[in-house]
Amino acid sequence: MSGKLPLQFADQVVLPVIVAPMFLVSSPEMVIESCKAGIIGSFPLLNARTVVILDDWMKRITDELSQVRTNEPKRRVAPWAVNLIVHRTNKRYKEDLELIKKYQPPIVITSLGDPSPVVGIIHEYGGLVFSDVSNLDHARKAAKRGVDGLILVCNGAGGHAGTINPLAFIGSVKKFWDGITILAGCISNGQDILASEVLGADLAYMGTRFIAASESFASREYQNMLIESTLEDLIYTDTFSGVNANYLAPSIRKAGLDPDQLQKKEGVDFSQLNQSEAKAWKDIWSAGQGVGTITGVLPVAEVVKELQREYDQAVSSLLEKRSK
Ligand SMILES: Cc1cc2nc3c(=O)[nH]c(=O)nc-3n(C[C@H](O)[C@H](O)[C@H](O)COP(=O)(O)O)c2cc1C
């Protein structure tokens, strides 16, 4: 575990992993089960349709995790995180920020905009701010705005993926960034987690692998499509939200569209609050290029056990190779 992470984190996790926030997919149960299994759970605040529902979710997560910590003081229970869209079109921004102040999630992940207005508020209660970036310009800007961590969203990621190769991205960012570094994009198994550490990441950010968790909000149909799909079934297009993202072509066909005849969408407001985008993400399903590793629907705790086995195996075989 990297020395960059606050000391208390190292004792709270079993693997350096964040279950990435996923629109319409991450559930409060997924967050609770991830943290109980020893990896950082997160969710987009907008997955709760109203602030009343959000208040209830944040209370449940706080209460359940603190109960586990009290009942099993030796258990590694990871911190939890929320994803706040800091773009001006987020109409719930102020109300959601109030709930962040009330429940004080240890990590706040900001996306789609300038994180500076929230950095002070989160630091005041001792929380950390991680900002997701998909190019060097955004990484440089976020680094100057006082965030604690940069999430480098590389090519092949689920959702709004970047286009930069992870080796090149992390190498270039490390030239000007000395804070917590989180790598994202196609990290799908234990070997990949170790590989991201070898590249210099402090944490691996995993989305797609967890869409098929039993606790996720994804429909059984979506999960079955993930099990049947490979990276050849993905399409990288800006048609549905105005920003390029990876989608499962079979879900596009299921919605009555021809994936080979998609039109470019001009001048679209890319906020995930946007009604048409919400509809698109409901009917047209996203996944990253790591989709081929999904072979079944499993509870989060089982996925984490599998990741631990793979990680340990990868460490042993690396050591064995080096000793020869
Ligand atoms: C279905 C889906 C929904 C997503 N929604 C969000 C979101 O609401 N906010 C966000 O910051 N990232 C979102 N992402 C991106 C993930 O947080 C993460 O960057 C990505 O999944 C990592 O790549 P991977 O899927 O290859 O592991 C989404 C990804 C997927 C697959």
pLDDT digits 0-9 by tens, 90-124: 899 999 999 999 999 999 999 988 899 999 999 99
Which ranges in 72-113 belong to alpha helices (H)? 93-103
Which are the contacts of 71, defined by CB distance < 8 A and separation ≥ 6?
Answer: none
CA-nearest residue, atom 2 of ligand 1: 22
Nearest alpha-carbon partner for 221 in 185, 245, 248: 248
CA-nearest residue, atom 31 of ligand 1: 158
Average pLDDT over residues 260-271: 57
pLDDT reading at 238 higher than 70? yes
Count Cβ neighbours within 10 Å for each residue of 204-238 and write b for 16 or more, e otherwise. Answer: bbbbbbbbbbbbbbbeeebbebbeebeeebbbebb
Confidence of residue 273 (pLDDT cuts 50, 70, 90): very low
C-alpha distances in angstroms, 297 versus 208, 224, 289? 12, 8, 18
Sheet with 107-111, edge to edge strand ranges: 17-19, 203-206, 180-184, 149-153, 128-133, 107-111, 80-85, 41-44
For residue 270, the model assigns a pLDDT of 38
CA-nearest residue, atom 8 of ligand 1: 23
Cα distance between the two ends of the chain: 25
Please state the pTM of the whole predicted model.
0.94
Ligand 1 mutation pick, 19, 111, 138, 160, max ligand atoms within 8 A of CB? 160
Which residue ranges have their beta carbon within 6 Å of ligand 1? Answer: 20-23, 25, 44, 83, 111, 132, 153, 157-159, 184-187, 205-208, 272, 286-288, 290
AA letter at 94 = K
Give domain limits for the chain.
7-217
Q: How many CB atoms lie within 10 A of CB 317?
A: 12
Weakest mean pLDDT among 21-30, 234-243, 306-315: 234-243
Weakest mean pLDDT among 19-23, 266-270, 287-291: 266-270
Q: Which helix (H) or strand (E) holds 82?
A: strand 80-85
- 266: DSSP letter: P
Which ranges in the chain belong to alpha helices (H)? 7-10, 28-37, 51-71, 93-103, 116-124, 136-144, 166-173, 190-198, 220-228, 249-254, 275-283, 300-323
pLDDT reading at 4 higher than 90? no
Give the whole-angstrom CA distance, residue 65 versus residue 67.
5
Average pLDDT over residues 190-197: 97
C-alpha distances in angstroms, 253 versus 94, 218, 285, 299? 38, 18, 11, 29
Give the whole-angstrom CA distance, residue 113 versus residue 138.
9
Confidence of residue 264 (pLDDT cuts 50, 70, 90): low
Q: In terms of pLDDT, which residue wins out, 87 or 148?
A: 148
For residue 208, the model assigns a pLDDT of 98
Give the whole-angstrom CA distance, residue 255 versus residue 283.
7
Asked if 111 and 184 count as a contact pair (C-beta separation under 8 A), the reply is: no
pLDDT exceeding 90 applies to what percent of the chain?
Answer: 81
**In the block, which residue shows the tokens 């990441």?**
201
Taking the CA atoms of 102, 103, 107 and 111 in sequence, report the sign of the dihedral they define.
Answer: negative
Average pLDDT over residues 49-76: 97
Q: In terms of pLDDT, which residue wins out, 278 or 105?
A: 105
Domain 7-217 has CATH 3.20.20.70: yes
Q: Which atom of ligand 1 is nearest to the CA of 111?
A: 11
| pLDDT digit string, tens, across residues 13-41 | 999 999 999 999 999 999 999 999 999 99
Asked if 247 and 286 count as a contact pair (C-beta separation under 8 A), the reply is: yes
